Amino acid sequence: LSPVCLGSLRRAASINAEYMVCDTVEDMWGEMARTIKVKSLPENQGKSEEDIAAIRAVMRKHLNDVSFPKYLKNMENVLQKNPEKSGYFVGSSITGADVAVFCMVKHLQRGIMDGIDPKIIETHAPSLVALHDNLAKNEAVAKYYEEFPNGRSKREESG
């Protein structure tokens, strides 16, 4: 198990199972997000922009073809294990896990990450897209994204 998962399991001993599901999903998304930051990796410090671009292309291909599909399928499995079959990760209402996945789906569907297919979630975990679409109809969420279509990002595009 990864250190993140071990941390989740330790915390789960003192909290209920619902929080554990939320924590697990948020950890998976966090691990996915950390894997895309090529430039910040210690082994890439001081490398030229050309070298970084070449490394990024190889990493993104692996993320698109191997890592992200695995994480997405794992998240979808967690979603589908909700005994209430509500379309949410836990129970029958929105939790932090649902919001984290909503943001991830929204970001990846924008198609702004070079080398990552904007339809990757639709292809590998369609129930996560259904969750996103359901949350997008929530009045508060819809109002927020009406004001901030790309979230509160300072950049319209990221690579």
Which pLDDT belongs to residue 111?
A: 87
Which pLDDT belongs to residue 100?
A: 84
Which pLDDT belongs to residue 127?
A: 96
Angle at 107 between CA 5 and CA 130, to 5 degrees: 80
pLDDT > 70 in the chain, percent: 80
- Does 74 have pLDDT greater than 60? yes
Task: Identify the weakest region by mean pLDDT among 3-12, 83-92, 100-109.
Answer: 3-12
- Does 3 have pLDDT greater than 60? no
- Residue 8: pLDDT band by 50, 70, 90 thresholds? low
The predicted-structure confidence for 42-70, as pLDDT tens digits, reads as follows: 788 888 989 988 988 998 999 999 999 99
